[in-house]
């Protein structure tokens, strides 16, 4: 059923149609899983070494074991397709090209954990992909692959319902606990943990949150067996990844490749190299929230969590952002800081105040009013945000800023000194600067 190394973005025309999916072995792996005990299914996922594709690379099988056993409580699965981080655009490929594999993955994961209902949380702007997925769900219901009809279809006692929940444009609703609040119709504020979702999640019931790609990957794992899957890709972070490659490259796009593929192979061989043969100044390997690499650091870098961790960054969502030699690093850092400031939910002080403060300082530097002390201040703010917030948005805001400022300090220094001489008249918004409004601005 699965050929070569494409386990998700399979080269089968019209695979989004249920008949085509079924003719290519679709829903047979769910049947196989239903013939096993739920714990055996979880064990296969544990053996496979699958790690979550939503950003934190948490071991999926282990996460599933946190769910309580027994049928006394309703249990939920949130399938996270919010995908609102700059540089991350891979889950929509699954919605578009292989929605039934996602549905089959939900059936198998749901069976393993005793889930009663799954909510697929989709970024609200994804109108096209919401329509494709809804059609796939409707077709699967109509043919008895979802809902009450499953009992007859699979000759089994298990059934699950699947619903789509559209996001309303807030990046924070990708965070698992604010996502649950959002599904419940509340404001998308992250919840303080503990309790963890497996203890008290959606409507206070045991809940697991997994990324779309994670859940779609469960199908090939059960089909080929956990051990066989664990041999694909890098040790410690097995399988294939959907790498979303963007920026100054000739062939941007989403590519399914084994974990551990060389970053340079992805950029030069698969994506056709850098536009106009320019040199690379920086690469963010896993979406905008991850620490960047300098262009002279990317040789021999392998794209898996263990390899990237060793050099101070992470795989994140596998969103590779390539910046060429002409990129203005100060502007990029400001743009990223603006995003996280805008998206901070404002619930906790280090993130709410720190993100705003960082943006203000970066604006000051970019507009010619910064000083070298500002660079130390930025690093200090990042250090004080990191690890001190309710959710990981704080880290996501701090990591790229600290990474850019420390790795490209010379460019920030240059911006400070160049702009200082350039704006000699010292005029801001048509008003002459005085010592007091300078202080106020800081």
Q: Which residues bind ligand SF4 (CB under 6 A)?
A: 172, 190, 344-348, 351-352, 389-391, 393-394
Binding letters toward ligand FMN, positions 71-90, x by CB under 6 A: ---------x-xxx------
Report in angstroms how near the CB of residue 357 gets to ligand SF4 at its nearest.
Answer: 13
Q: Which of 55, 99, 114, 400 binds ligand FMN (CB under 6 A)?
A: 55
User: Using CA atoms in the order 388, 393, 396, 397, what is the torsion angle rounded to 10 degrees?
Assistant: -80
By the rule CB under 6 A, 180 interacts with ligand FMN: no
Q: Which of 20, 22, 56, 270 binds ligand FMN (CB under 6 A)?
A: 56
Smaller CB separation from ligand SF4, 190 or 206: 190
Structure tokens at 4: 């070569």
Q: 348 is in the binding site of which of ligand SF4, ligand FMN, none (Cβ under 5 to 8 A by kind)? A: ligand SF4
Tell me the residue nearest to ligand SF4 as measured from the CB: 351
Q: 390 is in the binding site of which of ligand SF4, ligand FMN, none (Cβ under 5 to 8 A by kind)? A: ligand SF4
Report in angstroms how near the CB of residue 172 gets to ligand FMN at its nearest.
Answer: 5
Smaller CB separation from ligand SF4, 176 or 411: 176
Report in angstroms how near the CB of residue 340 gets to ligand FMN at its nearest.
Answer: 9
| Total Cβ atoms within 10 A of residue 429 | 6
Q: Which of 44, 104, 139, 175 binds ligand FMN (CB under 6 A)?
A: 175
Smaller CB separation from ligand SF4, 44 or 343: 343
Q: 52 is in the binding site of which of ligand FMN, ligand SF4, none (Cβ under 5 to 8 A by kind)? A: ligand FMN
Stretch in the footprint of ligand FMN (CB under 6 A) among 56-64, 303-311, 358-366, 430-438: 56-64
Whole-angstrom Cα distance, residue 254 to residue 276? 21
Q: 344 is in the binding site of which of ligand FMN, ligand SF4, none (Cβ under 5 to 8 A by kind)? A: ligand SF4
Report in angstroms how near the CB of residue 336 gets to ligand SF4 at its nearest.
Answer: 15
Q: 402 is in the binding site of which of ligand SF4, ligand FMN, none (Cβ under 5 to 8 A by kind)? A: none
Report in angstroms how near the CB of residue 83 gets to ligand SF4 at its nearest.
Answer: 17
Site for ligand FMN in 204-243 (CB under 6 A): 209-211, 214
Smaller CB separation from ligand FMN, 80 or 238: 80
Binding letters toward ligand FMN, positions 372-391, x by CB under 6 A: -------------------x
Number of residues that bind ligand FMN (CB under 6 A): 24
Smaller CB separation from ligand FMN, 56 or 164: 56
Site for ligand FMN in 239-298 (CB under 6 A): none
Q: 203 is in the binding site of which of ligand SF4, ligand FMN, none (Cβ under 5 to 8 A by kind)? A: none
- Residues 34-66 as b or e (16 or more Cβ within 10 Å = b): bebebeebbbbbbbbbbbbbbbebebbbebbbe
Smaller CB separation from ligand FMN, 174 or 247: 174
């Amino acid at each position: 059923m699965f050929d070569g190394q494409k386990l998700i973005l399979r080269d089968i025309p019209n695979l989004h149609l249920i008949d085509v999916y079924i003719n290519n072995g679709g829903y047979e792996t769910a049947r196989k899983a239903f013939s096993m005990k739920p714990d055996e299914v979880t064990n296969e996922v544990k053996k496979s070494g699958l790690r979550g594709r939503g950003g934190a690379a948490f071991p999926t099988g282990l996460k599933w074991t946190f769910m309580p056993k027994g049928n006394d409580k309703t249990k939920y699965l949130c399938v996270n397709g919010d995908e609102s981080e700059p540089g991350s655009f891979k889950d929509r490929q699954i919605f578009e090209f292989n929605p039934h594999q996602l549905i089959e993955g939900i059936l198998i994961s749901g069976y393993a954990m005793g889930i009663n209902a799954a909510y697929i949380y989709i970024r609200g702007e994804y109108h096209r992909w919401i329509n494709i997925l809804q059609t796939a769900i409707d077709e699967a219901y109509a043919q008895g692959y979802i809902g009450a009809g499953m009992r007859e279809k699979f000759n089994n006692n298990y059934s699950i319902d699947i619903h789509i929940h559209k996001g309303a444009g807030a990046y924070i609703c990708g965070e698992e606990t604010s996502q649950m609040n959002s599904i419940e119709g509340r404001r998308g504020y992250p919840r303080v943990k503990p309790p963890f979702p497996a203890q008290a999640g959606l409507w206070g019931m045991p809940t697991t949150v997994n990324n779309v790609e994670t859940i779609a990957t469960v199908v090939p794992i059960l089909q080929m067996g956990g051990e066989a899957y664990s041999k694909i890709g890098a040790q410690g972070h097995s399988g294939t990844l959907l790498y979303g490659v963007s920026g100054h490259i000739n062939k941007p796009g989403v590519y399914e490749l084994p974990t551990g593929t060389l970053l340079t192979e992805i950029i030069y061989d698969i994506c056709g190299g850098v536009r106009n043969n320019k040199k690379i100044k920086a690469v963010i390997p896993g979406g905008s929230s991850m620490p960047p690499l300098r262009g002279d650091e990317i040789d021999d870098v392998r794209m898996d969590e263990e390899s990237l961790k060793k050099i101070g960054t992470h795989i994140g969502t596998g969103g590779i952002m390539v910046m060429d030699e002409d990129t203005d690093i100060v502007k990029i850092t400001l743009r990223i800081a603006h995003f996280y400031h805008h998206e901070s939910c404002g619930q906790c002080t280090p993130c709410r105040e720190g993100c705003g403060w960082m943006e203000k300082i970066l604006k000051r530097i970019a507009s010619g009013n910064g000083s070298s002390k500002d660079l130390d201040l930025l690093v200090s703010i990042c250090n004080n945000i990191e690890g001190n917030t309710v959710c990981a948005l704080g880290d996501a805001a701090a990591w790229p800023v600290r990474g850019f400022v420390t790795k490209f300090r010379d460019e920030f220094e240059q911006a400070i000194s160049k702009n200082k001489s350039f704006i000699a008249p010292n005029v801001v918004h048509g008003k002459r600067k005085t010592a007091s409004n300078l202080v106020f601005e800081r």
